[in-house]
Copies of this chain bind each other. A is one copy, B any other.
Amino acid sequence: MSDAKSHQSSETTDQTLQRFMGYHLKRAFNVVQADLTRTLAPFELRMLTCTALLLIVDNPGISQSRLADAMDVERPNLVVIVDELEQRDLIMRERVPTDRRVYALRATLRGRRLATSAVEAVTKHEELLFQGIDKDTREQVVTALKLIRARGGKDTA
């Protein structure tokens, strides 16, 4: 019990950490993130670039500010993501005549095609990763995750 040897072939008990949802959330997210990275690699997309592409495909004309909000990303960090997608000819920045400050983002045909392929791959990926969890539970999890998301920014005071 006082020797390191006694731990070598046993699992950690994690008594304290097991109580925290944040711990489980992080571990699960690490797995999903790592798996998703592999799944998206053939498309030369990362989680963030893929998310941005899908949002632009689904919301043609969206501005960078609104895209940043939807992605929970700071505006400065979104710039490089949009740059990358534009350089790869997957999206376009179009000037808006009524407000020359904003860009209207639109997917190109190439972008829409890549998005379709990526969505198919991610769908398969998630089916595999979550196959041990029944549909009802999945929906409950999503509902809970949305609630957590909605509480964001509120102070713990």
Q: Which residues of A contact B (CB under 8 A)?
A: 2-8, 12-17, 19-36, 38-39, 47, 51, 54-55, 57-63, 66, 70, 72, 96, 98-99, 102, 104, 115, 119, 122-126, 128-130, 132-133, 137-138, 140-149, 151-154, 156
Task: Collect the chain B residues with CB atoms within 8 Å of residue A143's CB.
Answer: 137
A57 to B148, CA, bound (A): 29
Would you call B31 and A29 a contact (CB within 8 A)? no
Would you call B19 and A123 a contact (CB within 8 A)? yes
- Total copies of this chain within the assembly: 2
Task: Collect the chain B residues with CB atoms within 8 Å of residue A147's CB.
Answer: 132-133
Would you call A32 and B123 a contact (CB within 8 A)? no
